[in-house]
Amino acid sequence: MLFSPCFFTNIYGQQLAFPSAYGAGAYVSGGRGGEVLHVTSLNDNVNEVGTLTWALEHADNRGNARTIVFDVSGVIEIGTATSTFSSGSWTRRLEGSDFNNITINGFTAPEGGITIIGYSYYFLDADNIIIRGIKFRNGYPDDNGASNLQMRRCTNVIVDRCSFSYGNKGININSDSNSTANVTIQNNLIGEAQQGALIGNSNGDEIAAGDWTFARNVIGNVRFRMPKIGGQLNLDLINNIYHNWDRKAIRSNGNSYTINIYSNYWQRGVDYDNASDPIFTTFTNTEMSPRIYDDGLSYFTSDLSDDYGNYPNPVSDVWSLFNVSTYPIQPWWFENTPTPMLGRAIPVLPAETLKSELLPTVGACYYINNSGQLVYSRDNVDAALVNKIDTDSNEGRINGELYQSLAEDLITSLPSNTRPGNFYVSNAHIPEAYLVSRGITGNATVHNQIQPSGYTLLEEYINQVDGTIPDIEVTNVEVTPNTAEIFIPNTITLSAIITPSDATDQSGVWESSDETIATVDANGVVTPIVPGEVTITFTSNDNPDYSDSSIVTVFPEAFQANAGPDQTICQGESVVLSASGGQNYLWSNGETTASIEVNPTVTTTYTVTAFDDLGNSDDDSVTVIVNELPIAEAGDDQTICEGEIVTLTASGGDEYLWSTGETSASISVIPSSDTTYTVEVTTNGCSSTDDITVFVITAPNLTVSNDVTIMEGETTILTASGSDNYLWSTGETSESIEVSPSVTTTYTVSTTSVNGCIGSGEITVTVIPELIADAGEDIEICNGEDTLLTASGGVNYTWSTGETSAQISVSPNTTTIYTVTVEDSFGNSDSDSVTVTVNQTPTLTITEDLTIVEGENIQLTVTGASLYLWNTGETSETITVNPDITTTYTVTGTTGNCSSSAQVTVTVEELLVVSAGQDENVCEDDTYDVVLTATQGDSYLWSTGETSQSIVVSPLSTTTYSVTVTSGIQEDTDDVTVFVNPNPDVVILNGESVDIMSGDFVTLSASGANTYEWNNGATQPNIAVSPSQTTTYEVRGYIGDCYDEKQVTVNVIPEVEADAGEDQEICLGDIVILTASGGDEYVWSTGETTQSIEVSPSETTAYTVTVFNALDFDEDTVNVFVDTNCEEDGVVIEDPINGETLEFKFSVYPNPATEYVDVKLSGSDQLTGFYLYDLTGKLIFHEKVENESLNVYSTTRIDVSSLRPGIYLVKLADVQRELYKRLIVR
């Protein structure tokens, strides 16, 4: 139904289509604030109020901003076109601006949601559309080519949380001309289709195709085009799941497109063939220059990794040529930096989490219940597809030939519900239960009231799927431009930029500091009044502390002559021309006033020169167009007979106005007397008039006899008078005629005067037909039945029962005669009778319900009738049956024409075979409880006396238990034995551990059991092992099923490789630390026994260290080179600038390094710092050098143990220069 909306002016900044809207189409507004149309019928009829077709296409709704909600759930089958719009193959075409500003929200439907089958909707040249929560399952065969949903040249579109299946293409949004599409396709489930999605310019033309976001969609069991990309579009392809394609997954035309690819999930499925089913495929040519960014973080399931490895690096490896292209894919198409995300940036989820993040709620899987609350519900079609994707099912794509029948089956398989009568109370569009839950008092317009979120209350209700809408506070306001200049009477529009861009309340108030200079409206439009300077301020409604201003300077209107607009007059008229813009004026006709009156006879141009007080002048011209007067012609005078119609036709102009008020060139009139008609004829605004007279001749006055009523078969005489000639409709020409009609008839008579005018009259003869009552044929019924008696032949009826309707219902206990009296509309009456004969219904007696054991026979017997028919087909009183399962038998008994039925149920019990369970084995000395469970039955009795189905036993020795089970009419017994076995005591002769050198063998021996299992697979009690590293071996020893476990650790002592460290270089007097490695104990040639020692040799010295472990030792030597030419540390150069010049140099050692490196500097006392870079230029480490004593020598140690192995650059800098050295870290 259609309701009056509450319109409002949008003074807000960018408001999201709904809170979870992202990407290029995130800021679509749809039908916000417009009409609300309710779908209450599943029919496809444009003229039926409440159908989806009416809401979209009816003339009363087209062109209006509208939100379409659903008060009914089920399947809407769209057939042939029901409107004036043309329909292509399998499509319902919705073309032009009549279909702008629309929101279609399927979440508003009751349980079952909205499913569309049949023809698909095809939006063309439309703008500003939101579609959510609809299941499009149109049922197109594979080869049909139609799409579930199609759009062309549409802008500002978002399609969210819809389901697409059973079609050649899931979704097709095509931009085949230069456009800014601004389209988002997000959170949709697309599957069981030939093609997934087509976006951009599908013709492949090198034209702008707008901005597109394809994000968080799940596409499964679709052959290819997921999506197909065309034209110079900008596309963000983010966080989609792809499953089971069998051609080209994503295909692009050979255009200069821009694509950002972020973290998608690829799962090959059963139909995938790596030889012919690539990920990305593109046409190529020498002119194209695409820009492709791929974050390289997409996820390949293990089956795809077999073909590609992990997601390829370089990412260009997942791109291949379309089979007709030869120009190779160019590496420079692939960029390392993405272009900014389009519209509202979408958070990128890790690819490996997409199944858990998307599958639970993708597609149309919510509805609003009769309490106004959102409820999760996924139908069987979507559930099956999601399960195939989630489990990586080996089921392939559904055969496309089945699409149409599968879609049609949904009509009966999907639930269809309607809203209760009290769903809407105080507001016609939001349920009362929802308003109460929000604490809101409803009224007629509350649905379009703006909430703090920036949305209307209706939007908050229909978009509950987005959860509670958080308030995002304004943090800044910026007005642009911050200064402006305008001339009277021009205007300027200022913009208020709200930060953040998705703040909840983006409204605010514009104010002018001096409205006598300039005013500002609610949209920031500044209108100047007088010259001066004014401050225009925007203040946020969310937080008045945030505001910003622009200084606007108003200048007077520039000096310019204005002769006024061109004028149009008719011949003979005059017109006043008025000039402005100056102080004095001179017209081309010599006049010097601002206004002059002229009356030219032909079109003339007049020029005026305007002068200001400073002597400046300017010219302007005005043209007076002179139009000729038209010559009106109403035609010749006319003569007619009284009652005749005559057509009057005027000519001589383009427009006409008759004295009757009519405005067409020709009019039809029926004057009752002589009448003069005037017409005004106009051409180019000039007019003239003409008259025409219509003379009326009086027709002859004819008198006829009155209407008459006769009985069927009678005759009557009809008479006319008042003239001397007559012509009856019977063809007779006499004054009187005799007639005898069989049915009511109207007779006409006419006469003609001497001037040719005709007078006429008519007489109606009403014929009353003969009355015959009919009570119907006699009837037989059975006792207890009722029957209908129907009378005919008249207008009123009276039965012997007192009832007065033509048809009555009777249920006599005995044979009865019923009489009816029939009357016609003239009071005539007649009677008739009908006999209802009553036969007795037989009473059947049948065997009582009974129970048998599977395989038994039983007899069933019935009495009480003459004839019998069992549902087994048998016709005797007694039958023998032996059903395999519980069965109900029905018999119909008949006596005469009357029958009754009875039934008996034979309950079949399966043959009871009792099991007490499998025998159990336990080990002695263990703590154990054994649960024994018998076959399911009605009652139990164990040999222990217990009566439950399961019992718990703990025998000390092997024991047999028996159980008797009763089920229905049967009883059976079974035994079970619990065997108690002895426990082994395993001993490993080697003890808990043993030491060996690397490469040696050792024999491990176990005892105390019958059989053995080692954790290395050996099964003997003695095993020889030679581990390469310390290893723990476990052995399990068995006696029967009882076991004991022990373990032994073989410690592998590695061969000692002594390392005394890298050779060192020091200055005389320096101290250096020598550190050895490779063992557990150390002895230096100095006699010291620590791992590290400090030395300060006076000359170059070799130091030897002996390294030991428990079973081995080794030696190594390190040299300490002493530089005796170094200046003594700590010597201060009094004048390092003017003193002896030293070479600025430094050394880095050890190089290569593993844990630390020493940087030694000489030749500068003004060192500022040193820097460590990797080969990419990234700064890894920086330290400022403190040199308070101004030494020209210094040594600094850098810890490199945490750095990755590789090549690094060391930079040293003083106030005058920089030096670099290369460092290798291992």
The 8-class DSSP code of residue 461 comes to: H
Strands, E, within 729-778: which ranges? 736-739, 745-752, 758-768
pLDDT at 305 over 90: no
Q: In terms of domains, do 590 and 680 share one?
A: no
CATH of the domain at 1098: 2.60.40.10
Cα separation, 38 vs 428, in Å, equals: 10
- Range 1213-1226 burial, b when 16+ CB lie within 10 A, else e: bbeeeebeeebebe
Q: In terms of domains, do 535 and 576 share one?
A: no
Task: Give me the half-sphere count of Cα atoms (radius 13 Å) on the Cβ side of residue 943.
Answer: 13
Contacts of residue 847, defined as CB under 8 A and 6 or more positions apart, other chains included, come to 859, 860, 861, 862, 904
Cα separation, 774 vs 806, in Å, equals: 10
Of 401, 262, 225, nearest to 341 by C-alpha is: 262
Contacts of residue 540, defined as CB under 8 A and 6 or more positions apart, other chains included, come to 474, 477, 498, 505, 507, 508, 546, 547
CA 535 from centroid of its chain's CA atoms: 46
Cα separation, 85 vs 1221, in Å, equals: 78
391-425 tens-digit pLDDT = 988 888 888 888 888 888 998 999 999 999 999 99
Q: In terms of domains, do 853 and 826 share one?
A: no
Render 237-298 in DSSP notation, one character per residue: EES-EEE--SS-SEEE-SS--EEEEE--EEE--TT--TTT--SEEE---TT---EEEE-S--
Is 541 inside a domain boundary? yes
The token pair at 1078 is 């490779």
Cα separation, 662 vs 656, in Å, equals: 8
pLDDT at 236 over 90: yes
What pLDDT does 144 receive? 55
1081: which strand partners?
Answer: 1108
Cα separation, 382 vs 840, in Å, equals: 58
Indicate the SS3 state at residue 979. strand
Q: In terms of domains, do 169 and 316 share one?
A: yes
Three-state secondary structure of 66-109: EEEEECECEEEEECCCCCCCCCCCCEEEEECHHHCCEEEEHHHC
What pLDDT does 1188 receive? 53
- Range 131-157 burial, b when 16+ CB lie within 10 A, else e: bbbbbbbbbbbbebebbbbbbbbbbbb
The token pair at 903 is 């039934």
Indicate the SS3 state at residue 1113. strand
Cα separation, 963 vs 362, in Å, equals: 54
Q: In terms of domains, do 685 and 805 share one?
A: no
Is 464 inside a domain boundary? no
pLDDT at 177 over 70: no
Contacts of residue 725, defined as CB under 8 A and 6 or more positions apart, other chains included, come to 733, 751, 752
Cα separation, 452 vs 505, in Å, equals: 6
Of 160, 39, 188, 22, nearest to 108 by C-alpha is: 39
Cα separation, 724 vs 140, in Å, equals: 78
976-990 tens-digit pLDDT = 998 888 888 889 988
The 8-class DSSP code of residue 418 comes to: B
The token pair at 397 is 């794509």
Cα separation, 1100 vs 1123, in Å, equals: 8
Of the ranges 62-76, 567-581, 1003-1017, 1100-1114, which one carries the lowest mean pLDDT score?
1100-1114
Tell me phi and psi for residue 459, to 5 degrees.
Answer: -65, -40
What pLDDT does 190 receive? 93
What pLDDT does 1222 receive? 76
Q: 985 near 1036, Cβ under 8 Å?
A: no
How big is the chain, counted in residues? Answer: 1226
How far the first Cα of the chain sits from its last, in Å, is 79
Cα separation, 281 vs 318, in Å, equals: 8
Place of tokens 């087909």: 873
Q: 352 near 181, Cβ under 8 Å?
A: no
Distances (CA, A) of 491 to 156, 518, 532, 561, 665: 29, 10, 14, 21, 47
CATH of the domain at 153: 2.160.20.10
What pLDDT does 603 receive? 93
The 8-class DSSP code of residue 386 comes to: H
pLDDT at 77 over 70: yes
217-235 tens-digit pLDDT = 999 988 878 888 888 889 9
What pLDDT does 1087 receive? 81
Residue 609, amino acid: T
The neighbour count for residue 572, using CB atoms within 10 Å, is 10
Cα separation, 451 vs 458, in Å, equals: 10
Place of tokens 């006076």: 1098
Of 182, 175, 169, nearest to 199 by C-alpha is: 175
> How deeply is 1003 buried, as exposed, middle or buried, from its count of CB atoms within 10 A (0-12, 13-18, 19+)?
exposed
Q: In terms of domains, do 607 and 718 share one?
A: no
CATH of the domain at 541: 2.60.40.1080
Q: 392 near 267, Cβ under 8 Å?
A: yes
Distances (CA, A) of 1086 to 411, 1090, 1123: 97, 11, 21
Is 11 inside a domain boundary? no
Render 579-617 in DSSP notation, one character per residue: -BSSSEEEETTS--SSEEEE--SS-EEEEEEEE-TTS-E
Cα separation, 927 vs 452, in Å, equals: 67
The token pair at 591 is 């006049």
Q: In terms of domains, do 689 and 739 share one?
A: no
Is 23 inside a domain boundary? no
827-843 tens-digit pLDDT = 888 899 999 999 988 99
Is 804 inside a domain boundary? yes
Mean pLDDT of 330-348: 92
1102-1158 tens-digit pLDDT = 899 888 887 777 888 988 878 776 643 333 333 333 334 445 667 777 877 888 888
> How is the chain split among helix, strand and coil, in percent rounded to 5?
5, 45, 50
- Residue 1041 lies in domain: 987-1053
989-1007 tens-digit pLDDT = 888 888 888 888 888 999 9
Q: In terms of domains, do 1093 and 1013 share one?
A: no
Q: In terms of domains, do 692 and 623 share one?
A: no
583-601 tens-digit pLDDT = 899 999 999 999 999 999 9
Is 458 inside a domain boundary? no
Cα separation, 99 vs 79, in Å, equals: 20
Q: 165 near 193, Cβ under 8 Å?
A: yes
The token pair at 1138 is 């003017």
Q: In terms of domains, do 62 and 140 share one?
A: yes
**Pairing verdict, β 816-823 and 796-799:** antiparallel
Gyration radius (Cα) of the chain, Å: 52
Cα separation, 727 vs 905, in Å, equals: 87
Q: How many domains does the chain have?
A: 11
Residue 798, amino acid: T
Of the ranges 754-758, 789-793, 821-825, 1047-1051, which one carries the lowest mean pLDDT score?
754-758
Q: 1080 near 1109, Cβ under 8 Å?
A: yes
Cα separation, 217 vs 168, in Å, equals: 18
The neighbour count for residue 1045, using CB atoms within 10 Å, is 12
Residue 716, amino acid: T
Mean pLDDT of 13-36: 92
Q: In terms of domains, do 652 and 801 share one?
A: no
Mean pLDDT of 911-916: 88
Cα separation, 298 vs 300, in Å, equals: 7
Last residue of one domain, picked from the residues 839, 854, 877: 839
What pLDDT does 13 receive? 44
Q: 626 near 607, Cβ under 8 Å?
A: no
Cα separation, 893 vs 873, in Å, equals: 13
1039: which strand partners?
Answer: 1042
What pLDDT does 1113 receive? 78
Is 29 inside a domain boundary? no
Last residue of one domain, picked from the residues 839, 856, 885: 839
Distances (CA, A) of 803 to 425, 819, 838: 44, 11, 21
Which residue did the predictor score with more confidence, 60 or 296?
A: 60
Place of tokens 């009231």: 449
Most confident of 121-125, 155-159, 707-711, 769-773: 155-159
Is 460 inside a domain boundary? no
Of 601, 590, 612, 598, nearest to 564 by C-alpha is: 598
Q: In terms of domains, do 786 and 746 share one?
A: no
Of 1005, 1021, 1025, nearest to 1013 by C-alpha is: 1021
pLDDT at 932 over 80: yes
Of 95, 173, 170, nearest to 140 by C-alpha is: 170
Tell me the average pLDDT of the chain: 86
Of 443, 444, 446, 471, nearest to 457 by C-alpha is: 446
Residue 912, amino acid: L
